[in-house]
Amino acid sequence: MKITRSAFLRNTALGLCAAGILSACGGGTTENTDTETVGDGSSDVWTVGSEAGFPPFEFVGDDGELDGFDIDLFKAIGEKSGKTIEFENLPFDSLIPALQGGTIDAAISGMTITEEREETVDFSDPYFDAGLAIAVQESTTDINSLDDLEGKRIAVQIGTTGADTANSVPNAEVTTFENAPLALQELANGNVDAVINDAPATLDAIATGNIPSITVVGELLTEESYGIAMPDGSENVEIVNTALAEIKADGTYAELYRKWFDAEPPAE
Ligand code: ARG
């Protein structure tokens, strides 16, 4: 599937504007008591890690439970593959170490499939196309591209592709935050000049009014695909891919996409 970057921004913005999704930006952890067989792939209970400060993909709902597109998608994967899924809210930069240490079976967290990560974990087939966008205060006029960020103050979420991109900008002063909403709030407060974050998440924060007076500028900086991460060599990769294919074929994926993005899923 190919979409132009500007078409992506336009479509996503339209979709997210109508979605009206509320988010909780705070912490909160779902209980996980089943740790016996975690990580070995043979359990009927899978512990799935996610950094739940990334609406509409994952966030802590009013009832304290994890909710969002990724969460619904993994619940559907659990149903298709006969697994009971228990979610655990973990810092984003601890998800890969948790997979390596065998304390979680999988991570779904709007996580971009990158070559670097593929050296340490296995990914499912891609399930969502995204990309990085620059956000600035509405009043900012001199930032429209990555080049314009030279020497500027940039806020990012720790351990993300946005952080990597920000760190590549010459002379930029990069500040890292535990989650993306905190980075965006720092921008709204005027303490940084820009945020580099996944476009769908930033656009959602703008559309829901969670973060005031900020806007997205320029074109997408990258084209990225999200995948579900599993321990290196995990036999669950095949199970997850089979379930994903079924979910796409039987309309479940389209249903979830409409629910969370209020738009038709892109054609493959
Ligand atoms: N897609 C970006 C990455 O993989 C950011 C993901 C952040 N996800 C989250 N749940 N906070 O680095």
Residue matched to tokens 């998440």: 201
pLDDT number for residue 268: 76
Q: Which atom of ligand 1 is nearest to the CA of 109?
A: 10
**Residue 122 and residue 149 in one domain:** no
Q: Is 10 within a domain? A: no
Full-model pTM: 0.87
258 vs 147: CA distance, rounded Å: 35
Q: Are 113 and 227 in contact (CB under 8 A)?
A: yes
**Residue 34 and residue 111 in one domain:** yes
Q: Are 196 and 169 in contact (CB under 8 A)?
A: no
Cis peptide before 126 (omega within 30 of 0): no
| Tokens representing residue 72 in the block | 């619904």
Range of the domain at 109: 16-129+225-261
**Ligand 1 binding pocket includes 197 (Cβ within 6 Å):** no
**Residue 94 and residue 52 in one domain:** yes
Ligand 1 centroid vs 92 CA: distance in angstroms?
A: 7
Residue 251 main-chain phi, psi, to 5 deg: 90, -5
User: Strand pairing of 173-177 and 229-231?
Assistant: unpaired
36 vs 265: CA distance, rounded Å: 38
Cis peptide before 170 (omega within 30 of 0): no
**Residue 181 and residue 257 in one domain:** no
**Ligand 1 binding pocket includes 160 (Cβ within 6 Å):** yes
pLDDT tens for 117-127 read 999 999 999 99
Which of 69, 198, 225 is the best mutation target for the ligand 1 pocket, counting ligand atoms within 8 Å of the beta carbon and taking the most? 198
Q: Is 7 within a domain? A: no
**Ligand 1 binding pocket includes 175 (Cβ within 6 Å):** no
Ligand 1 centroid vs 165 CA: distance in angstroms?
A: 13
253 vs 59: CA distance, rounded Å: 19
**Residue 140 and residue 90 in one domain:** no
**Residue 149 and residue 177 in one domain:** yes
Q: Which atom of ligand 1 is nearest to the CA of 58?
A: 10
**Residue 22 and residue 120 in one domain:** yes
Q: Is 5 within a domain? A: no
Residue 165's CATH number: 3.40.190.10
Ligand 1 centroid vs 255 CA: distance in angstroms?
A: 23
Q: Rounded mean pLDDT of 108-132? A: 98
**Ligand 1 binding pocket includes 198 (Cβ within 6 Å):** yes
pLDDT tens for 240-258 read 999 999 999 999 999 999 9
Cα-Cα-Cα-Cα torsion 176, 182, 185, 189, nearest 10 degrees, comes to -60
pLDDT tens for 25-70 read 333 344 444 444 455 545 799 999 999 999 999 999 999 999 999 9
Ligand 1 centroid vs 142 CA: distance in angstroms?
A: 27
Number of domains the chain is built from: 2
Q: Are 86 and 47 in contact (CB under 8 A)?
A: yes
